[in-house]
């Protein structure tokens, strides 16, 4: 969240920091005031440029991840809906499809915790996850799987929190 705050308010951060630094320099007895003020302005502009480049880079990464995760989910969506609708006995291939889905959810969580997934996308994904995680056979497979701690720390409570519940 701190990174998001910097991304959102970087102009103000640069302006206030620069004004404070310039004010300090103007009070100090030095003959190099012009050079120091120029340096502060250059640093502020460099900071703004750096933050903008970081934002563009992060948005590019987010876009790639978003497309990849949604494509992978689209590929398994019909099968997941079929599993949820039939409630048949759990075959090995059915269980594996559920575990594949959990792996996708875990990867999404990992990139969210690293700050690469936008909070609104994460919230929407969590709401979708809950539709499966809270029904059989997903619930019982998750109860077994969570004991392996194989999903980067993802828990049902974190999904509920992410969904806004």
Q: How do residues 50-72 score in pLDDT, each as one tens digit?
A: 999 998 999 999 999 999 999 99
Give residue 99's pLDDT: 96
- 161 torsion bin: left (phi>0), alpha (psi -120 to 50), beta (else): alpha
Q: Residue 52: name the closest of 63, 42, 64, 60 by CA.
A: 60
On the question of a cis peptide bond just before residue 137, with omega within 30 degrees of 0, the verdict is: yes
Give residue 88's pLDDT: 65
Give the number of other CB atoms < 10 A from CB of residue 129: 23
What is the pTM for the complete model shown?
Answer: 0.79
Give residue 6's pLDDT: 78
- In sequence order, which residues have a C-beta less than 8 Å from that of residue 41 and are 6 or more positions away? 18
């Amino acid at each position: 969240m701190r990174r998001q705050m910097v991304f959102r308010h970087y102009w103000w951060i640069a302006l206030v920091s620069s004004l404070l630094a310039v004010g300090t320099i103007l009070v100090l007895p030095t003959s190099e005031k012009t050079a120091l003020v120029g340096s502060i302005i250059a640093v502020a502009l460099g900071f703004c440029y750096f933050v903008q480049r970081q934002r563009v880079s992060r948005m590019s990464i987010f876009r790639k991840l978003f497309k990849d995760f949604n494509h992978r989910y689209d590929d398994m969506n019909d099968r997941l809906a079929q599993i949820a609708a039939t409630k048949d006995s759990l075959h090995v291939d059915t269980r594996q499809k559920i575990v594949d889905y959990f792996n996708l959810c875990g990867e999404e969580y990992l990139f969210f915790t690293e700050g690469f997934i936008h909070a609104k996308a994460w919230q929407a994904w969590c709401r979708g996850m809950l539709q499966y995680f809270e029904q059989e056979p997903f619930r019982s497979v998750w109860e077994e799987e969570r004991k392996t701690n194989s999903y980067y720390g993802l828990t049902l409570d974190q999904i509920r929190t992410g969904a806004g519940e």
